[in-house]
Amino acid sequence: MKHRVISATEFKAKCLALLDEVDDKGSTLTITKRGRPVANVTRAKKRAWKSPEGIWAGKIKIVGDIANEDTSDLWECLRED
């Protein structure tokens, strides 16, 4: 893993290429402004996505048939007769 120190001007000019390098090689960057470190750039941690079922497990309870439920009576107030 390579660590580089670069100026803000250089980072601005080569931003996308530097971010690709950080992501591909796992390198890190320290960005300086007038010789003083102002930011560190590292690879983001990969996040495993859960299935939709796993996200809601234990948080909601489905009662009855939610796909074929007749809700026409709930919409009576919207009818203009």
Q: What are phi and psi of 76, to 5 degrees?
A: -55, -35
46 within some domain:
no
> Residue 81, SS3?
coil
- Report pTM: 0.56
74 within some domain:
no
51 within some domain:
no
61 within some domain:
no
Sheet holding 3-7, edge to edge: 3-7, 28-33, 36-41
Per the structure, the complete domain to which residue 15 belongs is given by 3-41
Work out how many domains the chain is built from and give that number.
1
State percent of the chain over pLDDT 70: 95
Which CATH number do you get for residue 25? 3.40.1620
pLDDT, tens digit, 9 for 90 and up, residues 5-42: 999 999 999 999 999 999 999 999 999 999 999 999 99
56 within some domain:
no
65 within some domain:
no
